[in-house]
Amino acid sequence: MKNSVMRFGNITVVGLKAISRNKMRSFLTMLGIVIGVGCVIVVVAIGNGASKAIQDTINSLGSNFIMIFPGATSQSGAKSFTGNSTLTPEDADAIKAECPAVAYVTPNMRTSAQVVAGELNWGTSVYGVNPDWPFIRSWNCSDGTFFSDSDVKSATKVCVLGATVAENLFPQGGAVGQTVRIKNVPFKVVGVLDRKGGNTMGQDQDDQVIAPYTTVMKRLAGQSKVSMIMASAAAPDQVQEAQDQIEALLKQRHRIPPGADMDFMMRSQEEIAAANNQQMSVLRTLLISIAGISLLIGGIGIMNIMLVSVTERTREIGIRMAIGAKGRHVLMQFLFEAITLSIVGGLIGILLGAGGSELVKNVLKWPIVVSPSSIIIAFGVAAAVGVFFGFYPARKAARLDPIDALRYE
Amino acid sequence: MPFVIEIHDLTKVYSLGEVEVRALDGINLNVDQGDFVAIMGPSGSGKSTLMNIIGCLDRPTGGTYKLDGVDVSELNRDERAIIRNAKIGFVFQSFNLLARTSSVENVELPLLYGELGLARTERRKAAMDALHRVGLQGREGNHPSQLSGGQQQRVAIARALVTNPAILLADEPTGNLDSRTSEEIMGIFQKLNDDGKTVVLITHEPDIAQHAKRVVTVRDGRIQGDERVNQIRVNTQGIAPPVPVEARK
């Protein structure tokens, strides 16, 4: 046992010496693996980062969050909602009044408008909601206050500005108390929202204006259908219950016979997250397979160089055999060389991947999550590639005839 | 005195398609322990084939070959590798040292493959001793490209010696050397032979063969002549100091 361990040690010495004698070639051989492993790590880090950022955005909706859209799902997919929405503000009120598992509900109607303040103007989205909105979105005013139920009842011309809008219309600050004109209708600014920053889809969440839905209906949109109803369940474990109650209520209100298609659809935060997860996993699989292919090409590079190396060193193999190397020794030597090349290449690739990830994070400001599992898998695959692609050249070397090998010029 | 090499009715037949070539056609040869035998013959005589079989690089088609009392004619690849490592020290015409590898590491090489399982320091010491025996003190760290042809051949002889083999098998060891250096190398073989080492020398040059004690002539796969000769002695006193290093290649 001691003997065989010692001899394996000797083979590693022989292999390491062979690698260090050809530093440039060894480096070029490794390059494929270096790039492959580096790619896997960076690509997975970018994918994970994007996935996590989107997940964070979805999670920030709150775990109780439920959205109700007009339109129906049919066999052919979702029908998009147009001007003739099937949901009304009264549906929202009814949900609030009759569904005990629902804590907050607001209708949500969206319109785009140019917002003018003095000399400055800013094109943005205007959302008509009720005072439940800050509770559903867990989003408060940094300045001023959100409008009240009485503002909704009397359709007061008040609004709350997103941070970006406030910044652009009132660069000096002091937006609260000022008047802005939306589609020529003067609105009094009662509050400015906390800054949330961009979401990962590239939208600036602070680029919006919030107003009572009644005001938006009467003054801006000119119609009484809502684009979406947002609700939140009383507790995270009541989401399903709330969805069931809302569904039953809306079916009854819309007079939908049992078994017929519904004219609305509902999504909980969990469902959105799950759908997103599925999309991301498709994306991740795609990225990993591309990186995997580059690893494979790296492996073929190793096999190529090892085959050249075996031919080039035929005489060396002959010498080694003449002085007593067995086929097994030669096989082990070349296999060890291939594995060492791929492992060292893998290690350099890990450093490169980690460095590249940092670079992407710091220079491009992308969200990056380096996952340890991607490092371990990339490294494992690199080592396996070394064994797999190193074996054939090594066996070729081991099977050489010592007489022919010695005569090889 | 026991025979270190016992060859009985040895044949080697190569079949090239339909044609059979009898490279060796019934060789009988015994070599005493401590002898110095030169095997002579023109190219095509079968002496290279004989050397390959004596060196356990190849297997005979028929007949028996005992090396150091062991019948090696039926051994497989790995078993022959063990015999080559333990019982045979090869010296080649073109030195066959590993490039970009120091002298001492070249000499250590057979010990890496051996069954002895020597520790690192033991290997290094054995390699140093072998280099000193061929007069290469101070050249241990040089790579082959930093040594003259004669020095390279001495490293090769040291490598052949390091496992303390039963025979030294030299295949045209002076073929790539000038006459003065050839003398030096033959002097080293004589010195090692004087110390008791059996030497088998393959050559086609008669004046080199005259440095041996016994000359066996091979022609057409058969032994044609076998005689004791008056050995030309090389004065070994003058050969020890190494030649100044010259950058080659």
ipTM of the modeled complex: 0.89
Token pair recorded at residue A205: 């969440």
Task: List the single residue in A3, A21, A329 with the smallest CB-CB distance to B113.
Answer: A329
Angle between helices A2-21 and A23-59 (to 10 degrees): 100
In the predicted model, is pLDDT for residue A107 greater than 80? yes
| A6 in B contact zone (CB under 8 Å) | yes
pLDDT tens per residue across span A278-287: 888 888 788 8
Cβ contacts of A6 on chain B, cutoff 8 Å: 117, 119
Q: What is the mean pLDDT of chain A?
A: 84
Q: Do B117 and A328 touch (CB under 8 A)?
A: no
Q: Given the DSSP bridges, would you call strands B19-32 and B36-40 parallel, antiparallel or unpaired?
A: unpaired
What are residue A102's DSSP bridge partners? Answer: A233
Cβ contacts of B113 on chain A, cutoff 8 Å: 7, 10, 320, 323-326, 329
**What pLDDT score was predicted for residue B236?**
63
In the predicted model, is pLDDT for residue A1 greater than 60? no
Q: Is residue A343 within a helix (H) or strand (E), and if so which, with residue range? A: helix A327-363
Which percentage of chain A shows pLDDT scores above 70? 91
**What pLDDT score was predicted for residue B95?**
92
pLDDT tens per residue across span B86-117: 999 999 999 999 888 899 999 999 998 887 77
CA distances, B34 to each of A359, A402, B189 (Å): 72, 28, 12
Instruction: Return d(Cα A31, Cα A341) in angstroms, integer.
Output: 9
Coil, helix or strand for A87? coil
CA distance A354 to chain B (A): 35
Token pair recorded at residue A201: 């889809």
| B47 in A contact zone (CB under 8 Å) | no
What is this structure's pTM? 0.69
Q: Do A322 and B159 touch (CB under 8 A)?
A: no
Angle between helices B77-87 and A327-363 (to 10 degrees): 100
Q: Which amino acid is at A175?
A: A
pLDDT tens per residue across span A46-84: 888 888 887 777 777 767 889 898 875 444 444 544 445
Q: Count Cβ atoms within 10 A of the Cβ of residue A199 and give its class: 0-12 exposed, 13-18 middle, 19 or more buried.
A: middle
| B75 in A contact zone (CB under 8 Å) | no
Q: Do B81 and A315 touch (CB under 8 A)?
A: no
Helices (H), A22-142: 23-59, 89-98, 133-137
The lowest-confidence range among A1-15, B45-59, B120-134, B210-224 is A1-15
CA angle (A326, A334, B113) in 5-degree steps = 30
Token pair recorded at residue B91: 């010296």
| A321 in B contact zone (CB under 8 Å) | yes
Half-sphere exposure of B103 (CA within 13 A, CB side): 28
pLDDT tens per residue across span A198-244: 665 567 888 999 999 999 988 887 766 788 899 999 888 888 899 99
Cβ contacts of A318 on chain B, cutoff 8 Å: 96
Task: List the single residue in A14, A322, A402 with the smallest CB-CB distance to B112.
Answer: A14
CA distance A3 to chain B (A): 6
Q: How does residue B183 score in pLDDT terms, banded at 50, 70 and 90?
A: very high
The lowest-confidence range among A281-290, A316-325, A385-394, B91-100 is A281-290
CA distance B58 to chain A (A): 8
**What pLDDT score was predicted for residue A225?**
72
